[in-house]
Structure 1
Amino acid sequence: MTAITDAAIRRPRFVLWLAGLLSVFWIVLVAVPSVFDVPTLNGLRIDTDPENMLAEDEPVRAFHNEMMAEFGLYDFIVVGVVEETHPNGVFNAQTLGDVLELARFAETIRWGNESAPEGVIASEILAPNRVDVVEQAGLGAVRFDWLMAEAPANDAEAIAVRDRALSIPTLSDTLVSGDGRAMALYIPIREKNDSYRVASRLREHIEAASSPAEFHITGLPIAQDQFGVEMFKQMAISAPAAMVLILVLMWLFFRNLSLVLAPMVVAMVSVVGAMGLLIATGQTVHIMSSMIPIFVMPIAVLDAVHILSDFYDRYPHIKNRRKTLNVVMSELWRPMLFTTLTTCAGFLSLALTPIPPVQVFGLFVAFGVFLAWLFTVTLIPAYIMCMPERAFAKFGNAGPQTNEKTVGSTSFLDRMLQPLGRFVVRRSWRVAVIFILAIGVAIVGLSRIEINDNPVKWFAEDHDIRVADRALNARFGGTYMAYLTLAPSSELTAAAAREDVLERLAALPGPEAAAFAAQLPSARSEASSFTGFLDTLAALADRRAAEPGANWLAWDDIALVIAQTRSTADVFKRPEMLTYLEGLQAHLTDLDQVGNTIALPDIVKTIHRELFESDPQAYRVPDTQRAIAQTLLSFQNSHRPQDLFRLVTPDYRRANVWVQLTSGDNQDMTAVLRAVDHYLEDNPPPLAVDHEWFGLTYINVIWQEKMVTGMAYALLGGFAAVLILMTALFRSFAWGVLSMIPLTVTIALIYGVIGLVGKDYDMPIAVLSSLSLGLAVDYAIHFAVRSRQIYDDVGDWTETARLAFGEPARAIVRNVIVIGAGFLPLLLSPLVPYQIVGVFISAILVSAGLASLLGLPALITLFQARLFKHTASNPDTGGPA
């Protein structure tokens, strides 16, 4: 492997030009895809939709799309209007006038061609000028009118709008807050990716409003789409800021600005290569893949810091760049290669997850890590060889040299590390006990980890979307929608129709009914479906009734029997089923997580009340199917008859309950799922039904569960792969297991602390386990390999430990400081996933460094007789122990 570095040292300018040309090539693939007549070379595509965390053929996702189409539902943006200064809240003439103007403006937000316009679906907007109120029009009659066709002329008219809205269950706590002081508009969009553009236009219009009211915009689609916009801003701001800080820290260590630019070049080329290939191959830039640069950069810098650290310590004694590089690379090529392989294994293990964007993320981070290694072992030496000799006149750590392989130092780091090394060797049992206690604490913390995620919480607390989320969910039934569908457990068959008709005919008097029953056709031969069989019977009865001398009264009774059997298919016209739905709604609204529900009984009860001249006692489910049918027929005379079929299918065999949650947290949605399961189990419906969920809030739960399970498999698979690689590196199972201990302690401790502090286990936290796997083993490999090399020279572990806490330990500490502190600028990002990455990269680096510097030498001290039973014959290979 040193031949690659030797070639770079001999032809440094060629290597630099080649790296530059590769970078330009990748940029061209991204920026000018039209130059290449290849279908896979697509332009940049961004997708922040968590629905796409599931595969397209995932059953839950397929059912979601099927039901959204079945019920004619769309994702929507929520605009909330809150007025705190006026005694009537938003229900004053001025504010409602602005609300009406905003609603009418929203209807105009469209772009694209006329045949397939994008943007807002005007006909489906829920706003005061687009929703009906139902009122009595005399006994047995109702009329429908727009809630607010025109702006109110005075505050009295505004209050009348409020009172009318609160009298309609489907509007109360949905369009109008329960306290009657706020209003919400629900603006449906054709595509979730349209939400940011729609929201931007709404904000522009709101700025011109004269009302002092506060306008809030929120909802899952806007949160997801706005995250996609802002994540690119953070890639352009936070990542460069992190790189600048890393550059400054490296300059403080090595005091040579030209030299420390080399790792920055490696990181940049590696990131450009990984992202360029991602985009050029037609992959979508998703929430996960947007973080590829953040993950590749620290890994790209790690090995470069090891090289610079070793070069910094050795150059003053060797005084020749080429010879120094040969010595440095002969020692470091093996640990660098295996840290690269183990890190790649950690990220490639993400292919075991059932989440396509995570699989893509793992694959391209692994590719970026490989590029970082390749450019580190070529570009760094080539860069150093191209620097003028005078740049190294006062360069390096000129501490005393004991031999070509081991260098001492009188630096601050050495004065700190040497006492630490002596303590670890002399108090190895104490260190081992500390590690055992740390594992115990980690186990307690791991048992407390709670899985939870919410795309709205990807933004900082003071972000407009978080502020809007809190404001609206405190006043309304909830801006997070989930949908519960219920349908009969078994399909009605022709045979069931035949049996039902025979039973009803047997109750009729007269010879006609008996004769018709005797001649009833076979269900198998005449029709295969319930309704098809009844159609056949109806036609047969009509022919018999038309025969000369037929008793038309008897045949009318037979026709009624067929109609009664047909009505049994209308499951959700039955009084008992609507009453059951009503009870289920009451149970749901009693839950802390649910603010409101909307279902078919709400429409039926409201219309029934108005048919009886607004009598409060009539606000109930009618006792007969005929009466229910009358209320539904009346509703279809409204301005929005299609709203009925948002709650039930036209054949009345599948009902849809809208469940409004005040939080989008997975834990809250999961609590609702369990509550419904228990209710259906404890309160069986009159007719056996199957229930299923759909909606974005529910889909978030499913992909998060798959993420957790997949990450567990990925972590176990990566752990096994790393153990195999470590065993191969050291040609010793004992050394392989030993080197896995810092990794194990680091991962356990990091995630244990997450559980102890109550941090939710969400998407960024889950994926950071792969970074933990790669970074934690990096230091263990470097320390173990260098210790074995030194031991081959000196033959004594105490002396080996003293020297290992020289240059090898200094390189590790420099890495911890440079990378750990370098990514703290991510804490300034308004996006929580970036903040989490910044914190945990630092935490992982510190934990992994401490675990390696404390744990490994202590364990080697305790088991040195077993570990150094056979010394290696070739120190450059790290050979068998």
Structure 2
Amino acid sequence: MRTLKAALVNFAVDHPRWVALGLLASIVFFATFFPNMTMDTDPENMLETTEPARVFHNAAKKRFDLSDTIVVGVIKDNDPNGVFNPRTLAHVSELTRFATTLRYEDPKQPGKTTGVIEVDMVAPSVVDHLRQAGPGTIAFEWLMPRAPATQAEALAIRDKAMSNPLLVGQMVSADGKALCLYLPLTDKLLSYDVYTALQGKIREFGGTEDWHIAGLPVAEGAIGVEMFSEMVVASPLTMALIFGMLYAMFRKWSLVVLPMLIATATVAATLGAMIALGFPVHILSSMLPIFLMSISICDSIHVLSEFFDVYTEEKGRKESVKEVMNTLFMPMLYTSLTTAAGFFSFVTTDIPPARVFGAFVGVGVMFAWIITILFVPAYIMLLPERMLRNFGLTAQGGVRESLLTRLLHGLGEFACRRAKVVLALFGVGIVASIWGMSQITINDNYAKRFSVGHPIREADSALNRHFGGTYTASLVLEAKNGEEVFKRPDVLTYMAAMQAWLEGNGYIGKSTSLADIVRKVHQELVDGSPGNFRIPSSQGAVSECVMQYQQSHKPHDIWHFVTPEFDSANIFMQFQSGDSTRTEAAVKAIEGYIERNKPPVDLSYRFAGLHYINYIFQGKMFWGMLGSLAGSYVIVLLMMIVLFRSALWGFLCMIPLTLTILFIYGALGFFGLDYDMPVAVLGAISLGIAVDFAIHFLERSRQITSETGSWEKTAPRMFGEPARAISRNVIIIALGFLPMLVAALVPYKTTGLLLFSILTVSGLVTLVLLPALLTVGRGWFFRARRFSFPGAAGSSRDVPALALARIGAAKRDAADDAGRE
């Protein structure tokens, strides 16, 4: 390893132009693949194509001819008649006609168009009003064949709509203040295009009503599109702030540009490699630049900090940079290996984009290491000597003039002199965090990924207050013997009873099934009175209701709820919240209901729908990420034991990581925040950063102790350059990512806040708790025994600590004698 270190550092110092040209050529090479970049904004791809829930979901969509749907709602609270006035209904009619024109070229099949499925739309002008035309006969007529000209006509439309329980809570709100259009799509990936077109049309109405566009396809599509646009804004802001703070600390533009160059090269090489290998950029991998930026900057700041402290004009840049790289080569290698190992553990998850993300972040970490090792010395050697004038700690007034150093010395003195108080305070924090972790809720909600005030989040809130819900899932019942069981009155009665129980107990907002259609048709066949909204008593009567319904303008609608063989039925469920916890509660409630109330025939049941798929993904994500984190934790622990050649030091190195994870997740539970995908993924970065700081601190502690002979003499030196390098990383990167809090998407806010928290907590644990532990346990950690100091420049390997102390004392005595002479 020493030979490799010397070879790389010497090559970079002796041939800086070749290194710079090689890096430039590499960036150009990888950049050539960028035009081939493809986007994958479909969150359904978070699951394997062979995942049973996904397979059944797609099979159910085909079996019942279901489509992903956009919900467009209009609310008129300031009118006593609500939305049922001529002007609003005219706008509704115009928007319905406009929606039928939204057609797009199908990229998969040239010459074929895709868009809104007109025949399956739900809107006042394209749904039937059922009324009795005579004894045993039903007339079907459009609910709103044309926009009303008078208020009386508008109220007549309202009364017709309110007479149909299938429409109340779905198309029209119970109070008449709101109305919804349902626009099914041939492909949910069109949702953002349709959303944008509808917004443009609605603006033409002049703002006389409150219009909202919602639905899971809209939220998913907008997240996919806006996440990439946010990245274009957030990343430069973050880099600009980091750049400014680097300048404030090092005062040399020519040097502080170095971390930015390394971060840019790392991101370009990693993304280029991912694209070159044919992987699309998914929603998850769109965050790859943020992760790589923070990780790649860490090492370069360590190097700059060390170079700032050791450089003098007398020593010169060549000797200074060699000294820096010899000191930091092994710590940076260890931190890069452990960070990469943490992300490589993602390849064991059941989530395909997470595997790609983890693999390429791991590759990017190693790219960052080799770029740092080669390019930093080369870059410094290429700088004209005059650009380093007045650079360095000595040139800028020395250690005593540094406010940061004075603060760190005070912190170190407190940590060592009040070590037991520090341990007690951290003990209280651990207990509180364990309680907080017990309160964590595993939940995801696409609408909550938008900031409060975003149109999609506002739409979600407004429409779900008025309707049965804009989130949908299907409960598919199947006859195990393949008979026409869904013509049987007892089976339909059972379905209706279960629906009423689910709605009555708040598990769902509304449901629609074949039972509801049969009850409505039966009501109108008899006399239209509410008392006859029920399932008829014979199978023949049920068949008659089905035949009557097939005389409507849209006879195929019935096949959305039952198969032509009547051996499988779909209960269409609406949820008023996008929380996956609500889906979980409904799923468990249905399972419990069927267990307690056996159906009259042998039925199996399964679930489908995007809302249910999101719930399944949450479970996969939680256990997959938790397993990866646990696996990588064990791997890193073993690496630390091997690298430090000591189980005791290996466990000590893991303490900042352990407590960072504990404190961050404890805070999530304490403040009532959800454990969702961004949090799960960002948990992985805590491993890399916390271990990075701990390795640097402990490795330097062991190096310096090998020279001083005791921790008491080492501690003050540790709160010089080593602590400054760690604290500079904390300050620059933690504050640098705070601009992400201004983003419109909550995942970006979460990323900024969590990165700030992870860096701050891990930095404090490293600089406060580790010295306190070393002080209290110095008899264990620095006892007179043989231990090695991996990578320590000029250190004696396998020399007893006591002997080293004696050698150091002898040298000091000799120096004193020489001075006296």
TM-score of the superposed pair, with normalisation by structure 1: 0.88
- Residues of 1 paired with 2:40 and 2:187: CA distance? 11
1:341-360 matches, within 5 Å, as: 341-360=337-356
Q: Find the counterpart in structure 1 of residue 306 from structure 2.
A: 310
Kept in 2, the 8 Å contact 1:408–1:807? The answer is no
Task: Give the Cα–Cα distance (whole angstroms) in 1 for the partners of residues 149 and 523 of structure 2.
Answer: 30
Separation (CA, whole Å) in 1 of partners of 2:207 and 2:636? 62
Q: 1:17 aligns with which of 9, 17, 21?
A: 21
SS at match of 1:137: strand
Identical pairs, percent:
45
C-alpha distance in 1 between matches for 2:9 and 2:259: 16
Alpha-carbon distance in structure 2 between the residues aligned to 1:456 and 1:422: 48
Per-residue CA distance 1:340-374 (angstroms, 9 max, x = gap): 00100111111121111111111111111111111
The one-letter code matched in structure 2 to 1:807 is: E
The aligned counterpart of 1:8 is 12
Matches within 5 A, 1:812-831: 812-831=726-745
**Cα distance in 1 between the residues matched to 2:396 and 2:242:** 29
Q: Identify the residue that residue 254 of structure 1 maps to in structure 2.
A: 250
Letter aligned with residue 218 of structure 1: A
Letter in 1 for 2:16: P
Pairwise mapping of residues 414-429 of structure 1 onto structure 2 (< 5 A)?
414-429=405-420
1:135/1:456 CA distance change after superposition, 3 Å: same
- TM alignment of 1:829-840, pairs within 5 A: 829-840=743-754
Match of 1:566 in 2: none
Return the match for 1:456 from 447, 453, 456: 447
Partner-residue secondary structure (3-state), 2:598: coil
SS of alignment partner, residue 316 of structure 1: coil
Deviations 1:392-423 (A, max 9, x none): 1101111899xxxxx96541122111122222
Structure 2 counterpart of 1:440: 431
Alignment partner of 1:277 is 2:273: yes
Q: Aligned ranges for residues 637-656 of structure 1 at < 5 Å? A: 637-656=551-570
1:129 partner SS: helix
1:853 aligns with 2:767: yes
1:383 equivalent to 2:379? Answer yes
Task: Give SS of 1:623's match.
Answer: coil
Does the aligned pair in 2 maintain the 1:431–1:858 contact within 8 Å? yes
Correspondence 1:286 to 2:278: no
Superposed CA offset, 1:538-582 (max 9, x none) = xxxxxxxxxxxxxxxxxxxxxxxxxxxxxxx21011111111111
Matched, 1:785 2:717: no
Distance, in Å, in 2 between the alignment partners of 1:646 and 1:61 is: 19
Tell me the distance in 1 between the aligned counterparts of 2:207 and 2:126: 21
Q: 1:648 to 1:266 in 2, by over 3 A?
A: same
Whichever residue aligns with residue 610 of structure 2, its letter is: L
- Where 2:734 maps in the other structure, the secondary structure is helix
Deviations 1:821-869 (A, max 9, x none): 0000000100100000000101000111111111211212222223223
Deviation of 1:871 after TM superposition, in Å, equals 5.0
Structure 2: distance between partners of 1:814 and 1:866: 30
Any unmatched runs of 5+ in structure 1? Answer: 32-42, 402-406, 493-568
Question: What per-residue deviation string (whole Å, max 9, x for no partner) do you get for residues 225-250 of structure 1?
Answer: 11111111111111110000000001
Could you say which residue in structure 2 is the equivalent of 1:37? none
**Structure 1 residues 877 and 204: alpha-carbon distance in aligned structure 2, compared to 1, 3 A threshold:** farther
Q: Does 1:604 align with 2:511?
A: no
TM superposition shift of 1:461: 0.8
Confirm or deny that 1:100 pairs with 2:93.
yes
2:37 to 34, 37, 44: 44
Match of 2:457 in 1: 466
Superposition pairs of residues 575-724 of structure 1, within 5 angstroms: 575-724=489-638
Q: How many residues align?
A: 788
Match of 1:63 among 47, 56, 64: 56
Partner in structure 1 of residue 481 of structure 2? 491
The letter of the residue matching 2:160 is: R
- 2:469 and 2:475 map into 1 onto residues whose CA distance is 16
**Deviation for aligned residue 1:2:** 3.5
Give the C-alpha shift of residue 211 in structure 1.
6.6
- CA-atom RMSD in angstroms: 1.7
Tell me whether 1:28 sits opposite 2:18 in the alignment. no
CA distance in structure 2 between the aligned counterparts of 1:805 and 1:188, rounded to whole angstroms: 63
1:169 deviates by: 1.8
Q: Return the match for 1:476 from 462, 467, 480.
A: 467
Deviation (angstroms), 1:274: 1.4
CA spacing shift, 1:21–1:115, aligned 2, 3 Å: closer
- Residue of structure 1 equivalent to 2:69: 76
Task: Report Cα offsets for 1:573-595 as digits up to 9, x if no partner.
Answer: 11111111110110111133422
Distance in 2 separating the partners of 1:345 and 1:310: 26
What's the offset of the Cα at 1:318?
Answer: 5.0
Whether contact under 8 Å (1:574, 1:625) holds in the other structure is yes
Please tell me the residue identity of whatever aligns with 2:541. Answer: A
Offset from partner CA, 1:261-288 (integer Å, 9 cap, x none): 0000000111111112222222121111
The Cα of 1:117 is off from its aligned counterpart by: 1.4
Which amino acid is 1:491 matched to? N
C-alpha change, 1:330 and 1:871, in structure 2 (3 Å) is: farther
Mind listing any 5+ residue stretches in structure 2 that lack a counterpart? 801-821
Instruction: Indicate how the Cα distance of structure 1 residues 725 and 768 shifts in structure 2: closer, same or farther if over 3 A, else same.
Output: same
Contact 1:487/1:690 (<8 A) preserved: yes
1:716-735 matches, within 5 Å, as: 716-735=630-649
CA distance in 2, matches of 1:393, 1:257: 12
Instruction: Give the Cα–Cα distance (whole angstroms) in 1 for the partners of residues 38 and 127 of structure 2.
Output: 37
Match of 1:876 in 2: 793
Instruction: Out of 420-429 and 11-20, give the one that drifted further.
Output: 420-429
2: distance between equivalents of 1:334 and 1:161?
77
The one-letter amino acid paired with 1:266 is I
Match of 1:503 in 2: none
Residue 112 (structure 1) aligns with: 105
Match of 1:87 in 2: 80
Instruction: Tell me the distance in 2 between the aligned counterparts of 1:709 and 1:807.
Output: 41
In the alignment, is the contact (CA less than 8 A) between 2:41 and 2:225 conserved in 1? no
Deviates more, 1:685-694 or 1:243-252: 685-694
User: Aligned partners of 2:47, 2:80: CA distance in 1, in Å?
Assistant: 48
Q: Please identify, of 755-764 and 419-428, the stretch whose mean Cα deviation from structure 2 is larger.
A: 419-428
Return the offset for 1:210: 5.0
Cα distance between partner residues in 1 of 2:84 and 2:694: 67
Correspondence 1:411 to 2:402? yes
Structure 2 match to 1:505: none
Aligned position for 2:230 = 234
- State the alpha-carbon separation in 1 of the partners of residues 206 and 710 from structure 2: 83
Q: CA deviation at 1:617?
A: 2.5
What letter is aligned with 2:471? Y
Structure 2 counterparts to residues 315-354 of structure 1, below 5 A: 315-316=311-312, 319-354=315-350
- Counterpart code for 2:56: F
- Give the whole-Å Cα distance in 1 for the aligned partners of 2:376 and 2:226: 34
Structure 1 residue 434: deviation in Å?
2.2
| Cα distance per residue 1:447-494 (max 9 Å; x no partner) | 111100011111101100001111111111100001111112x325xx
8 A contact 1:458–1:832 mirrored in 2 = yes
Shifted more, 758-767 versus 21-30: the winner is 21-30
2:119 alignment partner, one of 88, 98, 123: 123
Shift, 1:683, TM fit: 1.4
**What does residue 39 of structure 1 align with?**
none
Aligned pairs (5 A) from 1:533-572? 569-572=483-486
Distance in 1, Cα, partners of 2:284 & 2:530: 54
Larger-Rg structure: 1
Residue 201 (str. 1) matches residue 202 (str. 2): no
Distance between the aligned counterparts of 2:251 and 2:396, measured in 1?
A: 20
CA distance in 2, matches of 1:118, 1:584: 37
Structure 2 residue identity aligned to 1:822? G
Work out whether residues 436 and 668 of structure 2, in 8 Å CA contact, stay in contact via their aligned partners in 1. yes
Residue type of the partner of 2:131?
E
Counterpart of 1:393?
389
